[in-house]
Amino acid sequence: MAHDRLHDKLIFPEDRRISVKIKPLWLFLITLAAIGPVAVAWGQYFTLGLPQITESPQTIPAIVNDPIGFPIWIRLTHFVNFFLMVLLVRSGLSILMDHPRLYLNDHCTPGSAWLRFTPIDVPKDRIWTAKDDSRYLSPIIGLPGYRHTVGIARYWHFLSAFFWVINGLIFIALLFCTNQWKRLVPIDTKIFFDAWNVFVHYATLHLPVEPDGFYKYNPLQQLSYFGVIFLLAPTTFFTGLAMSPAIDNRFRWYPKLFGGRQCARSIHFLALLGYLGFLVPHLTMVALTGLKQNLNHIVFGTDDQNPLGLIIGAIGIFLVVLACFGAHWISWNRPRALQMGFRKLLGPLQRRFLNQMETRAEYSKAEISPYFWPNGKMPNDPAWLALQSEGFKNYRLKVFGLVENPVELSLDDIIALGKQDQITMHHCIQGWSGIAHWGGLSLERLIQHVRPLHGAGTVVFHSFGEGHYGGEYYDSLSIKNALHHQTMLAFEMNFERLNVVHGAPLRLRAENQLGYKMVKWIRAVEFVKDETSVGKGYGGKNEDDEFYPMVANI
Ligand SMILES: Nc1nc2c(c(=O)[nH]1)N[C@H]1C(S)=C(S)[C@@H](COP(=O)(O)O)O[C@H]1N2
Ligand SMILES: [Mo]
């Protein structure tokens, strides 16, 4: 990203404070989850002493069928997983800081966050946009870090997630094609008791005799690996999908599985705590139970005391750190290549699956959000200010470009073409959501009215407002996507005339896309062949300046 003064001011804000504020009930619950079992273990230790570890752990399994050692595919997928998880966590934290509040309600009402990472209470006396609210994150922690770099962070997150899922599926497929599943999958409920007994040892700072992990895991180890692979990982995947506007507005039941879209986002974050809560003891135990031998297991698949596994393992970690520096460099020096690479690789999937899904989720009046976060820079175009001062009486929407019937429509003309109502959920790329009623002209109807010419493939929405870094705000939809039933030019919000903050006189609603596609303060609608002829040619103002994706359905 070009480092002019405007960028610098935004990306290196003066106020870089981060504070963690958690609602007392949640602090209590998380502390209880973390400390409770340890306390019970100490109680048991003081009253009953250390439990016996039943199995004679040192014996090499007699059954010839049992897995021995770590074949190359386990070692490779383990390393790839580690690498991708590092990228996922770091980019995930960058995304989180763009709306540093976690809620259990889909309205994201200020004050209702159960956890937040910002010291700022949402001001009530002025417009406070979601962009104002984003926080700075050190690039040592976040990828790419700094402030409001959500576009780039999402590329890293989704690219890693894509390969992480493939890597995970390969691992699981091979696990069940071989006998290696036996070391992970519990087949006897007794394992819970045995695992508890091991936990009592660890929690009271005792080390029980360990089996050689080359042949067999101890019960607690097996259960925690199983939990991470078969519970935690799917949870992150499915809660991740539950944040997609295309999925949520197609299948209303889907985010409900997790208690709603914001609950899914919170669970997605809690899963991160779960991974870290696993990682710390995992690494500690790897170190405590024979570091050299354990590293030979997972690096070379050998079971000896040779220091080479440790050395190569350390080099592996070093390479991951190096890759993080590489990703950081790409983020700041080749963001356009990242944007285009992503579009090439995952764009077709997004178009073929997510964009095809008809949006149909509807909410009830009672579910309308009491507060709807605003975003974007208010227009200060004299033409818009003049129109506003007259209540938009003289507003004319210009529809032009590759159409048979170019028109200029007043608000009354637009209303006369037919009004459609819907109560839908808005998904901002930054992470917040909100439910509102929208009334307006369906784009399908407008398209019928102006009759695009053969060769017109894209609809561009021009705004009176400016982008973050100056210049006209605009965005575009493919005509195919614009034809979804819920896509409309709205002039009503919550059963009143659309107000100035939310885009008067006219704004776009495209319910299978993220909020930034939904241009407010619309000046004109233009039909073009494709997006390359408008602005810098990447499909919208945010696509041009902040490297956001052109297709925004996840
Ligand atoms: N003209 C214009 N339209 C815009 C924006 C903007 O900055 N300028 N921001 C977009 C973003 S990022 C979002 S999330 C939605 C927010 O709509 P709201 O302010 O009604 O909540 O508007 C979109 N439309
Ligand atoms: Mo947004």
pLDDT digits (tens, 9 = 90+) for 106-144: 999 999 999 999 999 999 999 999 999 999 999 999 999
Q: Are 129 and 376 in contact (CB under 8 A)?
A: yes
- Alpha carbon of 510 to ligand 1 centroid (Å): 12
The answer as to whether 123 is a domain residue is no
Q: Say if residue 454 is in the same domain as residue 541.
A: yes
The answer as to whether 553 is a domain residue is no
- What pLDDT shows up at residue 59? 46
Q: Are 396 and 404 in contact (CB under 8 A)?
A: no
Q: What is the pLDDT averaged over residues 91-113? A: 98
Domain end call among 313, 345, 377: 345
* Ligand 1 closest atom vs CA 522: 1
Residues 6+ apart with CB under 8 A from 259: 104, 267
Q: Residue 55: which pLDDT band, with cuts at 50, 70 and 90? A: low
- Alpha carbon of 454 to ligand 1 centroid (Å): 31
Question: Is residue 522 pLDDT above 60, yes or no?
Answer: yes
The answer as to whether 72 is a domain residue is yes
Nearest CA to ligand 1 atom 16: 375
Whether 384 is in the pocket of ligand 1, judged by its Cβ within 6 Å, is: no
Q: Residue 7: which pLDDT band, with cuts at 50, 70 and 90? A: confident
DSSP 305-350: --THHHHHHHHHHHHHHHHHHHHHHHHHH-HHHHHHHHHHHHHHHI
Ligand 1 pocket test target in 134, 148, 243, 375 with most atoms within 8 Å of CB: 375
Question: Is residue 299 pLDDT above 90, yes or no?
Answer: yes
Q: Which domain holds residue 104?
A: 5-112+129-345
Q: Residue 65: which pLDDT band, with cuts at 50, 70 and 90? A: confident
Nearest CA to ligand 1 atom 24: 519
Whether 377 is in the pocket of ligand 1, judged by its Cβ within 6 Å, is: yes
Q: Which pair of structure tokens corresponds to residue 501?
A: 């903050």
Q: Name the packing angle between helices 219-227 and 261-288 (round to 10°).
A: 150
Q: Say if residue 318 is in the same domain as residue 398.
A: no
Q: What is the CATH number of the domain that holds 450?
A: 3.90.420.10
Domain end call among 316, 345, 374: 345
Q: Say if residue 298 is in the same domain as residue 390.
A: no
Rounded to two decimals, the pTM is 0.96
Q: What is the pLDDT averaged over residues 206-219? A: 93
Q: Say if residue 48 is in the same domain as residue 146.
A: yes
Question: Is residue 62 pLDDT above 60, yes or no?
Answer: no
Q: Tens of pLDDT along 451-473?
A: 999 999 999 999 999 999 999 99
Q: Are 411 and 505 in contact (CB under 8 A)?
A: yes
Q: What is the pLDDT averaged over residues 353-359? A: 95
- Alpha carbon of 193 to ligand 1 centroid (Å): 54
Mean pLDDT, rounded, of the chain: 96
Q: Say if residue 223 is in the same domain as residue 85.
A: yes
Question: Is residue 416 pLDDT above 70, yes or no?
Answer: yes
Tell me which DSSP letter residue 186 carries: -
Q: Which residue has the tokens 């935690």?
A: 232
- What pLDDT shows up at residue 1? 47
Q: What is the pLDDT averaged over residues 75-85? A: 98
Nearest CA to ligand 1 atom 19: 374
Whether 463 is in the pocket of ligand 1, judged by its Cβ within 6 Å, is: yes
Q: Say if residue 335 is in the same domain as residue 420.
A: no
Q: Say if residue 393 is in the same domain as residue 331.
A: no
Q: Say if residue 401 is in the same domain as residue 334.
A: no
Q: How many domains are contained in the chain? A: 2
Q: What is the pLDDT averaged over residues 361-389? A: 98
Q: Are 61 and 215 in contact (CB under 8 A)?
A: yes
- Alpha carbon of 514 to ligand 2 centroid (Å): 7
Q: Say if residue 398 is in the same domain as residue 478.
A: yes
The answer as to whether 372 is a domain residue is yes
Question: Is residue 177 pLDDT above 60, yes or no?
Answer: yes
The answer as to whether 350 is a domain residue is no
- 3-state SS, residue 55: coil
* Ligand 1 closest atom vs CA 464: 1
- Alpha carbon of 365 to ligand 1 centroid (Å): 23
Question: Is residue 57 pLDDT above 60, yes or no?
Answer: no
441-447-450 Cα angle (round to 5)? 110
Nearest ligand to the CA atom of 540: 1
Q: What is the pLDDT averaged over residues 389-396? A: 97
Q: What is the pLDDT averaged over residues 439-449? A: 98
Q: What is the pLDDT averaged over residues 141-161? A: 98
Q: What is the pLDDT averaged over residues 479-497? A: 97
- Alpha carbon of 515 to ligand 2 centroid (Å): 4
Q: Say if residue 157 is in the same domain as residue 11.
A: yes
Report the candidate in 246, 340, 331 with the shortest Cα–Cα distance to residue 538: 340
Nearest CA to ligand 1 atom 14: 515
Tell me which DSSP letter residue 464 carries: E
The answer as to whether 120 is a domain residue is no
Whether 139 is in the pocket of ligand 1, judged by its Cβ within 6 Å, is: no
Q: Residue 58: which pLDDT band, with cuts at 50, 70 and 90? A: very low
Question: Is residue 61 pLDDT above 60, yes or no?
Answer: no
Question: Is residue 60 pLDDT above 50, yes or no?
Answer: no
Whether 101 is in the pocket of ligand 1, judged by its Cβ within 6 Å, is: no
Q: Which residue has the tokens 């100490």?
A: 42
Nearest CA to ligand 1 atom 23: 516
Dihedral, 494, 466, 373, 133 alpha carbons, nearest 10: -170
Ligand 1 pocket test target in 506, 518, 523, 546 with most atoms within 8 Å of CB: 518
Q: CB 476: neighbour CB atoms within 10 A?
A: 26
Whether 469 is in the pocket of ligand 1, judged by its Cβ within 6 Å, is: no
- What pLDDT shows up at residue 64? 59
Question: Is residue 526 pLDDT above 50, yes or no?
Answer: yes
Nearest CA to ligand 1 atom 11: 516
Whether 374 is in the pocket of ligand 1, judged by its Cβ within 6 Å, is: yes
Q: Tens of pLDDT along 317-351?
A: 999 999 999 999 999 999 999 999 999 999 999 99
* Ligand 1 closest atom vs CA 130: 14
Nearest CA to ligand 1 atom 20: 502
Whether 243 is in the pocket of ligand 1, judged by its Cβ within 6 Å, is: no
Q: What is the pLDDT averaged over residues 396-402? A: 98
Q: Say if residue 336 is in the same domain as residue 378.
A: no
Q: What is the pLDDT averaged over residues 400-419? A: 98
Q: Which residue has the tokens 């159960």?
A: 114
Radius of gyration over every alpha carbon of the chain, rounded to an integer in angstroms: 27
The answer as to whether 96 is a domain residue is yes
Q: Say if residue 419 is in the same domain as residue 493.
A: yes
- Alpha carbon of 373 to ligand 2 centroid (Å): 9
The answer as to whether 35 is a domain residue is yes
- Alpha carbon of 95 to ligand 2 centroid (Å): 12
Question: Is residue 362 pLDDT above 80, yes or no?
Answer: yes
Percentage of the residues of the chain whose pLDDT score is greater than 90: 95
Domain end call among 345, 374, 403: 345
